[in-house]
Structure 1
Amino acid sequence: MIVFFIFFALFILYLMNNLTNSLCEQKEIPEEKQPKIFRTINILITILLVSSYIDVLFT
């Protein structure tokens, strides 16, 4: 189960990064602000994935 969840998490992170990149291009966000946006979104998605794994693990 952990192997499935790791692949699922990597897929979700990849998908979110692609969507974030599209957002940055569409809204014409300056290059200087993009790393901060990517970092914030990646941290939040990672927290969400870890908390959902813990939820699945203990229920």
Structure 2
Amino acid sequence: MISIFILFACFILFYINKMTNTLCLQKEIPEERHPKVFHTINILVTILLISSYVEILFA
């Protein structure tokens, strides 16, 4: 169960990063702010994935 969820989480993080890159390019966010944007979004998505796993685990 955990290995499937980890694989699913990696897949989600990859595509979220891909969409974040597209967002940065479309909105013309300066290059020096890109790492901060990626860092913030990755932390928030990771928190979401962890809370989803805990909910599935205890449901």
- What's the TM-score, normalizing by structure 2? 0.98
TM-score (norm: length of structure 1): 0.98
Question: What residue in structure 2 maps to residue 37 of structure 1?
Answer: 37
Q: Which runs of 5+ in 1 are unaligned?
A: none
Separation in 2, partners of 1:39, 1:30: 15
State the aligned residue count.
59
Which residue matches 1:26?
26
By how many angstroms is 1:57 displaced?
0.2
Q: In the TM superposition, what whole-angstrom CA distance separates every residue of 1:4-41 from its partner, at most 9, and x where no partner exists?
A: 00000000000000000000001111000010000000
C-alpha separation between the residues in 2 aligned to 1:27 and 1:48? 25
